[in-house]
Each structure stands twice: as C-alpha cells, then as structure tokens.
Chains A and B, each alone.
Chain A
Amino acid sequence: MFNYTFQWKQAMARLPQMLDGAVVTMQVAILSMVLGILLAIILTMFRLSGIRILSAVAKTWVEIARNTPALFQIYMAHFGLGSFGLHLSPFLSILIGITFNNAGYLTENFRGALKAIPDTQTRAARSLGMGAAGAFRHVVLPQMLRISFLPMTNQMVWAILMTSLGVTVGMNTDLYGVTQDLNALTFRTFELFALAAVIFYAITKIVTLGARLIAARLFRY
C-alpha cells in the first residue's frame, strides 16, 4: 500500500533553482506590500475625505478585496483584463492581484488603527497651524502605521503565501511555479513540494522575526 521510495537527493539537487524562485516570490511579495501600503494610505485618505464618491471607491475596494477569493482577484487581473484586450504578463497579473488584496485588507486595518488615535491629536496639530494634510501626514499617519505594524506583518506573510496562486495564471519563475515545473520534469512530487513548503516556512519565519526587530528599533516610545 505504501510503496514509495523517497529520493531526497533528486529534490535537493534542484534546491538552487528553487531558491532562485524564492527570490522572485519575495520580489512579488515585497513589491505588492509597498504598493499595497501606499494604495491603502490613499484609500484611507479617500475614506476620511468626506467626498462621497471617493469614500465609495475605497469602500467598494475593501469589500471586494476582503470578501472574494484571492484567486478570483488574480484571475481578474490576468484573464479578466485579458478579455478586454489588456494582456498582462503572469508576473504583472499576480503582482496586481496581490496588491489589490493587500490594499483592501490594509485599508481596513488602518481604519481600526485610526479609531485608536484620539481626535485631539489632529486638533492639537491643527492648533499649531498645520493644515489637514500636514496634521495627517506628520501626526496621524506615523501613529497609524505603528498601530497597524503587526497586521501589516501578517499581510506580508499572507502576500508571500499568495504568490503560490500565480501558477494558475502561468507564473513559473516564482518558488511555487518553479517547483511545479520541476515536478513535471522529475515526478518527485512529495519531495519537491515538501522542500518548497520548508522554504516558504523559512521565509515567513525570517520575515516575522525581521519585522519584530524593525519594530523594536522603530518604535521606541
């Protein structure tokens, strides 16, 4: 019944290729986080703007990002836009899909963080002659990012793991895509994917530990 000979050597021989894939995975994850944070800040300002159409845009974005599968979001970036004649590379599609997802979740996190910052902070900043934008940028935003740092770390981990969905839109240069291709070549399915899982695990561990170090350095107050 259990008739399988493990051949770890074969898998290990592919490790360098898989690590190259891991680099691409990190590129996608980091880029999608940076863009996601920037977009989430913009969407948060939309929400705060009091301009109905802008806050509707932000609200819709958050609703879709949080209540539909990430796979759907990535599909829409690739095949959805594709049906309108806009053909994006797998790399761009996955990047857009994950960025969309990140921005939605982060906007919601930012909303929670904002609730924790008293209005009097803005009032104090305004009373010093700062404009609404200046008060947001120098007083509210830094505190908001600090409060949402932990959720941001979670989202980063989630972004790394979501890159594996890229395989569905033909991505084959990231860790999961590379593993998939190697599997087709060697049929060492269990060994290869187990190795990929270990690499994913190691990356996310390093990211969370790194985030903790950054937090300790950045937030001394």
Chain B
Amino acid sequence: MSSVVKDTHHEEHPSGIMRWITTTNHKDIGTLYLWFAMIMFFIGGLMALVIRSELFQPGLQFVDPQFFNSMTTMHALVMIFGVVMPAFTGLANWMIPIMIGGPDMALPRMNNWSFWIMPFAFSMLLSTLWMDGGAPAGGWTLYPPLSLQTGDAFPFLIFAIHFMGLSSIMGAINIVATILNMRAPGMTLMKMPLFVWTWLITAFLLIAVMPVLAGGVTMLLTDKFFGTSFFNAAGGGDPVMFQHIFWFFGHPEVYILILPSFGVVSAIIPTFARKPLFGYSSMVYATASIAFLSFIVWAHHMFTVGMPLAGEVFFMFATMLIAVPTGVKVFNWVTTMWKGAMTFETPMLFAIGFIIMFTIGGFSGLMLAITPADFQYHDTYFVVAHFHYVLVPGSIFAIMAACYFWLPKWTGNMYSETLGKAHFWLSTFFVNLTFFPMHFVGLAGMPRRIPDYSLQFADYNMIASIGAFGFGFAQLIFLYLIIKTIKGGVKATDKVWEGAEGLEWTLSSPPPYHSFNTPPVIK
C-alpha cells in the first residue's frame, strides 16, 4: 500500500517553467540538452549561411572581412561546444541510465548544474557579436598573437570557454560515476551496450583534456591582462607553445565529438540488420585504442610550424595508425549488415549514410596525415572539406539517427517515415553538394577563412553555397517532424523496432518519469 502511494508521488513534478529549472530527472535534463543543441544548431547554421552567402561569388558582397572572420570563428565554437557536445550529453543523459538499468544519473543535482551553466556560457559568447571590436575573429583555435588582438570580446570568450569546459567536465564525471556505480546487478562491463562503452571512454577523454584547454585559455587571459609571457616572444615565451597545448586538448576533442556516434551506429545497425553486432569486444578495444592514440598525434595539426623531421615522421605514422582501429569498426559494421534481414527505416538510412560519408572523411584525413602532402593541403579548403565530412555526415548524422531511433521511445509516438526519409535524402544530397566541391578548390589552393577568392574557384564555391542553403532548409523538416511527433501520432509499441535489443525497449513508450527503481533482471 505504502509503495503505491510512493510511486504516485514520484510521478509528480512541478509544472511549468519551474519543472525544467529545478529538475534533477535524467530524462528532463536529457531533453533540455537536446533542445539546447537544436537551438544552437540553427544559430550556428545561420552563421554558416552568412559565410556561404559571402562566398557565393568572388569579391566582397554582404559582410566586411572582420565580420566574416567572426562568423567562421563563432560558427565553429557554436557547432562544436553548443551542438555536438550537448547533443551527445543529452543522449547520454536520456539513454545511459535506462540502458544499464539504473534509476537515474549518479549525481542528479550536479546534472542540473551542468546543463544550466550552458545557456549562460552561450549567452556570454553570443553577446560578443554586439561588442566593440566585434566577436572573436581569430579562428576557433585561438592562436596567439592574433587571438590576443580581439577587442572587448576577449575576456567574454575566455570565460565562456571556461564555463563550457566546466559543464562538460561535470557532465563527464556524472556519466563515469553512473556507468561505474549505477549498473543493475548482472550488467557487467562487457554486457553494456556499445553506446554506454563509447560514452565511458569519451567521458574519460573529456576529464583528461578539458582542464588542459582551460589552462591554455587561462594563459591567454593572463598574457593579455596580467603581463605574463607564456606565448609572448618578447617576454621569453613561445607562440607555438600555445598550439602544442591547444592541440593536446584539440585532438582528443575531435574523438570526443565522434566516439559517441560510433556507439549510436553500433546500436542501430544490428537492430535493422536483425543480427547481433559483429565483434562486440573488438569494438570496445578499438574505441579504447582510438582514445589512447588521440593523445599522441596532436602535432599533425601543426606540421608547418617548423618541427624537426623526427617529430614530423613520428606524428605522421602515429596518425596513420589510428586508421587501424577505425577500420576495425567500419568492417565490423559492414559485417553486421552482411546477410542480415535489412530494412531501411530512417535511423538505418542515417546510420548507413554515416558509415559511407564518415569513411570518406576518414580517407581525406589519411591524406592530410602524410606530412609532405600536408604542406600543400594545410589551411586550405581541403581541410574544411575533411573535417566537415567527419562532423556533418559523421557526428551530426549520428545524432539525427539517434533522434529518429529513440524518438518513438521518448515521446510514445511514431514519427512520419515519409518526412524522415525526405529529410535524410535531402540532407545527404545537399551535404555532398556543399562539401564535396571543397576538396577540389582546396587541392587547387583556395585558403580557408578568407572572404574573397580567385576567380578560378568561383564555380565550385557557387555550387557549395547552393548546397549549404539546401542543407539548411532541409533541417526545418527535422524540426517540424520532431514537434509533430511530440504533439501526437500513431502510438509506438514498447519495443518500437522489430529487431530492437536492450533494456530501454523493455520500458513503456514513453518510459515512466522514474524508471528501474527496482533493478531489472539481466539475463
């Protein structure tokens, strides 16, 4: 009797805005993260469209070069720290407790903090757009001495990065504590879904490198305002030192942006191929190897700074080594699909699109790893094409795949398959129209972060700009589809997908506000 009373009490929560401000529920916080990422995705997307409008044809048309540079810098900061990272943290919040059979995240109050820091950090960052001297325009990599020439925006930029870092670190600590301590009895580490595994490793990467970024930007701050000379050659410092510190953070960071995608794809492919994942343990070891290697390859971002030959050779081979565990993953996914009873619902389409287009990005990454060739590619549009292939049809497609895959579970309603497929095919067509031509202009020598360009690059840039607008408008379908699904639709079953495996599918759709208060039995 008392337990019944307790259960009904548990389902209650404050209504209205206070529900979201005071919530410590992992599902609410996951939802907040995902909506935050969605809003930032459109803000960052608008910035990308400013860039592509200016580059539609040669010459200076719409914006002045300083503002153009602000747009490239802010687009990167918003998309990396405001979209991909929060979206994955949101997925982790929503899915990890119900995937491992835990009642909630390990540290629910800290969880509330780690989300609510984000809107403040980004208000601060975006407010710099209206400041004297303009928003940061020295590139998201913040290389001194250029970044030290930022106007009033500079301390806002640094403190925004501190806050984003703080939020990510708190989120990561929470995720590690959840995975290590909150698993249902019988849920051993090697029984965990791969999404949980990839997030465990990602969280460790975050804990290891976000403080290094915080340290690096703190040094920039004291160099600018307190007369230190960490990176000031006149005072005995070394500007290249910043690049070393930044990329010691920066390279693990790119794996932070991609490892959870591997987990998402490893959940979706077996579901729609109706076969268990091929090589589960090799997937775990490959993820761990990628994470380890990410710490010893940072200088491949700075081949042209004048490194000794021994350094260039070491970083070239260490970088190429990463292709081995990544190849293991790609082959495992392909083998999982091999002779499977495949169907092609929207999440599966995004997952397959991810595998193909992420691999294209991986190959151009291998090309960039070749030191002598990199001297030609460095700071050209080839680099832009490379990292957009791994981030847009890579990380972003994986996030979208995850949204389609779990949306019926979250909302209890099926989404419209027609709209979903339209979204996928339009996105895939336009993303390639945008980024594929960038390989060609890059190899031909068009530099990145430049508002104007030589006439011979005009045609490909026009194609890329058309693609960017197409891709941008296609995302409105995604937004409409999500709102429509939340509002109603065909009721989803608990299992949702025929081939679905895992604890989250044993809960009702939508799951109760508090789930697994008594641990499930793991077979």
Are A and B part of the same complex?
no
